[in-house]
Amino acid sequence: MIPGPVFVYSCPTCGNVITRGSLMSGNNFGSKIFSDGKSISPMLPEFPKLTKCKKCNSLFWLSNLKPIGTFYWSEIKNIEWVFADKAQFLEIDDYFNAIDKGIAKNKKEELYIRQQIWWGYNDNLRSGKKLFKDESDEQRWAENISKLKPLFDQSDSNQRIMLAEINRNLGDFETCIGIIESIDDEELNWVKEIIIDECKKKNKWLIELKDKTSPRGNLLK
Ligand SMILES: [Zn+2]
């Protein structure tokens, strides 16, 4: 894994300095791929596109902000930047807050936020916790995924798999299988097989995808 430059940003509201790392190159050694399309790769860290300023709590897109500078860990010029806040991924509540505040200005941004919410809930399962805190939590989960469904780009096989997965989460196994079977991509055959199998078992929830036939990497990115 070779880190890229660290990008330095200034909070658009209060000017607090926030940094975000980047990656020059990595690999999917030790990756775990899940049925919701999320993969966790120790050698391929991801960096947030949307974050929250720790100083003033404002939410903003780093991906839309021009960096005020960059540095490499090997040649530090500004010591303040080294100790600045590091951009963090948001918690589920913050993502809901971002939706309420109209932070998503287009379909792509709304897809990103709603997908992060869906993944955030599934992170509970990934870390061995309960999916929902209570009934109202389950309601907002359901509302989010119903609004996420129409945002997927159906010409993209990976997004079609995510759409199928949401139908599976909702217990609509027939629709899930229909979408999965309509995907014509040989590289995804092993994924299709696993998901159809789970539908037959009437399992609604997240599973880790393990390719029994080859140690292939990250196909769902
Ligand atoms: Zn701020």
| Ligand 1 center–CA 16 separation, angstroms | 5
- pLDDT tens per residue, range 59-78: 999 999 999 999 998 888 89
141 and 159 co-located in one domain:
no
What is the whole-number distance in angstroms between the Cα of residue 3 and the centre of ligand 1?
26
- Report CA(87)–ligand 1 centroid distance (Å): 12
Q: How far is the CA of 125 from the centre of ligand 1 (A)?
A: 32
Cα distances (Å, whole numbers) of residue 202 to 45, 79, 83, 131, 140: 33, 55, 49, 18, 23
Residues in CB range of 24: below 8 A, 6 or more apart: 2, 3, 4
The first and second tokens of residue 212, run together, are: 């029994």
Q: Is residue 95 part of a domain?
A: no
CA of 68 to the centre of ligand 1 (A): 15
Report pLDDT for 220: 42
Residues 172 and 201 in one domain: yes
Q: What is the pLDDT of residue 76?
A: 81
73 and 115 share one domain:
no
**Which of 128, 151, 174 is where one domain is finished?**
151
- The rounded Å distance from CA 94 to ligand 1 centre is 15
- What's the number of domains the chain is made of? 3
Residue 16: pLDDT over 70: yes
According to the model, what pLDDT value does residue 216 have? 47
Structure tokens at 214: 């080859």
Span from the CA of 209 to the centroid of ligand 1 (angstroms): 39
Q: How far apart are CA 157 and CA 188, in angstroms?
A: 9
State whether 145 and 162 are in the same domain. no
Q: Which pTM was predicted? A: 0.92
**From the CA of 83, how far away is ligand 1's center (Å)?**
16
The confidence score (pLDDT) of residue 214 equals 55
Say whether pLDDT at 221 is over 70. no
Asked whether residue 196 is assigned to any structural domain, the reply reads: yes
Q: Are residues 133 and 169 in the same domain?
A: no
Same domain, 161 and 142: no
Do 182 and 131 fall within a single domain? Answer: no
Q: Is residue 49 part of a domain?
A: yes
- As a whole number of angstroms, the distance between CA 73 and CA 119 comes to 31
- Cα distance between residue 182 and residue 188, in whole Å: 12
Ligand 1: centre distance to CA 110 (Å)? 22
pLDDT above 70: residue 137: yes
Query: Among 60-74, 133-147, 206-220, whose mean pLDDT is lowest?
Result: 206-220
For residue 50, the surrounding DSSP H or E stretch is: strand 50-52
106: CB partners within 8 A, 6+ apart: none
* Element spanning 131, H or E: none
Task: Report the SS3 class of residue 221.
Answer: coil
pLDDT-based confidence at 217, cuts 50/70/90?
very low
Task: Evaluate if residue 14 carries a pLDDT over 90.
Answer: yes
Look at residue 213 in the predicted model and tell me its pLDDT.
Answer: 63
Residue 204 clears pLDDT 60, i.e. is over it: yes
Q: What does the pLDDT look like over 153-198, one tens digit per residue?
A: 999 999 999 999 999 999 999 999 999 999 999 999 999 999 999 9
Q: From 131, 151, 171, give the residue that closes a domain.
A: 151
Residue 93 maps to a domain: no
The answer to whether position 98 is within a domain reads no
Range of the structural domain that residue 13 is part of:
2-86
Q: Is 160 found in the same domain as 143?
A: no
Q: Which residue has the tokens 């300095």?
A: 17
pLDDT at 119: 98
Per-residue confidence at 112, pLDDT binned at 50, 70, 90?
A: very high
Mark the residues whose beta carbon lies below 5 A from ion ligand 1: 11, 13-14, 16, 53, 55-56
CA 59–ligand 1 middle distance (angstroms): 8
Residues 82 and 7 in one domain: yes
- Give domain status of residue 94, yes or no: no
Which two three-digit tokens encode residue 119?
A: 């993944």
Residue 92 lies in a domain: no
Domain boundary among 58, 86, 114: 86
12-21, 72-81, 120-129: least confident range: 72-81
**SS3 category, 182:** coil
Residues 147 and 161 in one domain: no
Q: What is the pLDDT of residue 211?
A: 77
Establish if 54 belongs to a structural domain.
yes
